[in-house]
Structure 1
């Protein structure tokens, strides 16, 4: 499994949070990641699932979606297609640049800033709310590859293994697990 990196390093472009279950999150100067919970003060923080749709089916399942990360390169790509999307607009907590999030294997450890560690659990599965935000955006973030397979571009999810403050311009270092690698699935 090949993961592409920016030779100048991978960084945090923006951090966002919201205490409410709304679609977009507010950009802030920094977020505090809390071990085993997620982003302090965020509606999706908790040991059990906090996603409203998933709570309806089984509210006791573990929260594999404590932190949502999206690559800023997606926003660049969407802008070329005529969509204006800014950090936090799609509900992510951390916007990155220089790391190929979508091709990280399951279990990758992301060391973010001086202390925080997020373990990658899977892909975010975008829903119809994206089209309510920008008409036609769902199709743009769920294209098909040359083999006809759907490609989910709306970032990855993870759990917090080590807490810490995460701020804009913090460095991100990925620690890919030893093989065999498992491709990310929706969580």
Structure 2
């Protein structure tokens, strides 16, 4: 069963995010209070714990949820294989996959601190179709 491991937030883009107990994900905006939110196609970023585990196996120490600036850390779902347009029910929200991977921007704090970033190949982005609260432990369903 796919589930949420962590909800992570930061006030600005491109920095490591801090885990929180729950997040309100607003329709056509993203995680309230997060620097990544706004009226665009990359409102929410997701990364699988399995992808983080790959980096740990490569010898990168101290990797915890939020270190790759993802809003939602997941488990039990291969995110980067989902087709664009896939709708996901995560907690009380409905989200639509809008992009797979991304190009790291110059001076990326994550790449500088961690040494390598897995978001460009295995992270995904969604937009919020239906608002709601998401908490760690909530299930993820492909609609």
Normalising by structure 2, report the TM-score: 0.90
Greater fraction of residues in strand: 2
- Superposed structure 1 runs of 4+ greater than 4 Å apart: none
**Which of the pair has the greater relative contact order for Cα pairs under 8 Å at 6+ separation?**
2
Report which stretch shifted further, 161-170 or 80-89.
80-89
Residue 4 (structure 2) aligned to one of 4, 8, 12: 12
2-structure distance, mates of 1:116, 1:100: 19
Partner of 1:31: 23
Partner-residue secondary structure (3-state), 1:89? coil
The answer to whether the 8 A contact 2:80-2:101 is kept is no
1-structure distance, mates of 2:51, 2:14: 21
Residue 170 (structure 1) aligned to one of 135, 138, 143: 138
Partner of 1:96: 74
Instruction: Spell out the pairing of 1:1-187 with structure 2 (5 A cutoff).
Output: 9-47=1-39, 63-84=40-61, 85-113=63-91, 115-127=92-104, 128=106, 129=108, 130-135=110-115, 137-138=116-117, 141=118, 152-153=121-122, 155-175=123-143
Summarize deviations over 1:93-141 as a string: whole Å, max 9, x none: 000000010000111111011x201100012314152431222x14xx3
**Paired positions, count:** 139
Give the root-mean-square deviation of aligned CA atoms.
1.6
Alpha-carbon offset, residue 22 of structure 1? 4.5
| Unpaired runs of at least 5, structure 1 | 1-8, 48-62, 143-150, 176-187
Greater gyration radius: 1
2-structure distance, mates of 1:44, 1:119: 16
Normalising by structure 1, report the TM-score: 0.70
